Copies of this chain bind each other. A is one copy, B any other.
């Protein structure tokens, strides 16, 4: 027995007036997803806890079975790992922005005009060559998408108890990084980050890429802002907990990071971009392939539903749900339903009205040979609330699946 867990990011929603009080899931035509609900058991899930809006990091950690209140240690490390950087225990990771400041270090643009990947890559290469005065500490700086970047500090005596240099608002001066506790490690780490900030600024302010940007009328990326210092979460892998091999299909660096710390094999899929234009069919094929291999669990994540929700574009969200349905249709047609449990849920509700993550529960359906099939006929927020699973928590989903495929360990004797 094997399990496929499909997570559509932010797919759950609230009733929308322009849709006659229905949600995008209630409007979308989605025969394959409804088939999972009809032939399976349904319920609703508080991914974190009733009323608490999950982040994408905490939400996916919870759906993989990890209590985020226990294991979550910041987004920085997850994103760095997801981007392919090697992060070890004790390394301190920070999320970074290329930004634009004036001569007094007042922030003029927190995203340096959403600098291109090309420009950011050239700048990052130069920054990686900076020498730190403390030879015991090494750093890795890497740009990711547009203005975004990650910084990993490696060495002994490092701490995550340091403040951000990012003032988070334009018109404010870049902040000095301060220790957040009275320890040598925190002071030491703050000193290194302040040194890096200054040395990065010195490299950037006269860098030829920025001279060229100014000539082109673009804001120079003349500083790097640091925030969210965090460690790699110290969690047992899925293989350690359930003795299964697991594979993950996800494009978003943050979700790839979550899957990596959970010890999953993170697959690369041609055309999977984390955008509404992602290649749904290739993701489906990759899932079918992974299920045909030695993976008892395959995790398939689609980001596009969340993107549409944050844009408030409920019509696009409906279309994306229909594309996800096509993806599921391919999978249903190409796996042995006597052998594979298919579950579909969301990591949180994202409202097309508020354009934010919300704390409303998400629907869950699980189809497979031995589920206690209920009488829910459609997959959506309201119908699943009447299902046989009732209302469970995010951290209950993975044990529920592992139980169905015979991989849950008995407690007691």
Q: Which residues on A are within 8 Å of B, measured CB to CB? A: 14-15, 21, 23, 44, 48-59, 61, 68-69, 72, 75, 228, 351, 353-354, 356-360, 370-374, 381-382, 385-386, 388-393, 396, 398-403, 406, 408-413
Most chain B CB neighbours (cut-off 10 Å) among A372, A402, A409: A372
B51 touching A412, Cβ below 8 Å? no
Q: Give the docked Cα–Cα distance between A409 and B69 (Å).
A: 14
B15 touching A403, Cβ below 8 Å? no
Rounded to whole Å, the gap between the CB of A197 and the closest CB of chain B is 22
Name 21 interchain pairs, CB-CB below 8 A, sorted by A: A14-B370, A14-B372, A21-B373, A23-B372, A50-B393, A50-B396, A50-B400, A51-B398, A52-B403, A52-B408, A55-B411, A56-B412, A72-B411, A72-B412, A356-B406, A359-B399, A359-B400, A360-B403, A374-B385, A386-B386, A391-B392
For A52, the chain B residues whose CB sits under 8 A away are: 399, 403, 408-411
The residue that A48 contacts in the complex, of B353, B393, B402, B411, with Cβ under 8 A, is: B411
Q: Give the docked Cα–Cα distance between A49 and B378 (Å).
A: 27
Most chain B CB neighbours (cut-off 10 Å) among A51, A59, A386, A401: A51
Q: Is the interface of A mostly helix, strand, loop or mixed?
A: loop
A408 touching B51, Cβ below 8 Å? yes
For A413, the chain B residues whose CB sits under 8 A away are: 55-57, 75, 228
The residue that A410 contacts in the complex, of B44, B357, B388, B393, with Cβ under 8 A, is: B357
Q: Give the docked Cα–Cα distance between A410 and B381 (Å).
A: 20
For A69, the chain B residues whose CB sits under 8 A away are: 411
Rounded to whole Å, the gap between the CB of A329 and the closest CB of chain B is 24
For A391, the chain B residues whose CB sits under 8 A away are: 389-392
List 11 extra interface pairs beyond A52-B410, A53-B403, A354-B406, CB under 8 A.
Answer: A15-B373, A44-B390, A50-B400, A51-B398, A51-B400, A54-B411, A72-B412, A351-B370, A356-B410, A359-B408, A390-B390
The residue that A51 contacts in the complex, of B59, B356, B399, with Cβ under 8 A, is: B399
A370 touching B406, Cβ below 8 Å? no
Q: Give the docked Cα–Cα distance between A370 and B357 (Å).
A: 14
Most chain B CB neighbours (cut-off 10 Å) among A50, A228, A354, A391: A50
Q: Give the docked Cα–Cα distance between A50 and B75 (Å).
A: 28
A385 touching B388, Cβ below 8 Å? yes
Rounded to whole Å, the gap between the CB of A125 and the closest CB of chain B is 28
For A61, the chain B residues whose CB sits under 8 A away are: 412
Rounded to whole Å, the gap between the CB of A169 and the closest CB of chain B is 17
For A401, the chain B residues whose CB sits under 8 A away are: 51
Q: Give the docked Cα–Cα distance between A358 and B15 (Å).
A: 36
Rounded to whole Å, the gap between the CB of A365 and the closest CB of chain B is 15
B57 touching A399, Cβ below 8 Å? no
Q: Give the docked Cα–Cα distance between A373 and B23 (Å).
A: 11
Please give me the residue from chain B that is nearest to A57 by CB atom: B412
Rounded to whole Å, the gap between the CB of A24 and the closest CB of chain B is 13
For A351, the chain B residues whose CB sits under 8 A away are: 370
Rounded to whole Å, the gap between the CB of A155 and the closest CB of chain B is 26
Q: Give the docked Cα–Cα distance between A115 and B408 (Å).
A: 33
Most chain B CB neighbours (cut-off 10 Å) among A69, A370, A412: A412
Q: Give the docked Cα–Cα distance between A124 and B233 (Å).
A: 52
For A370, the chain B residues whose CB sits under 8 A away are: 14-15, 351, 353
Rounded to whole Å, the gap between the CB of A212 and the closest CB of chain B is 33
- CB contact under 8 A between A410 and B15, given known A385-B390, A399-B359: no
For A392, the chain B residues whose CB sits under 8 A away are: 50, 391
For A353, the chain B residues whose CB sits under 8 A away are: 370
Q: Give the docked Cα–Cα distance between A59 and B385 (Å).
A: 26
The residue that A372 contacts in the complex, of B15, B359, B412, with Cβ under 8 A, is: B15
Rounded to whole Å, the gap between the CB of A145 and the closest CB of chain B is 16
For A410, the chain B residues whose CB sits under 8 A away are: 52-55, 356-357
Rounded to whole Å, the gap between the CB of A48 and the closest CB of chain B is 5
For A14, the chain B residues whose CB sits under 8 A away are: 370-372
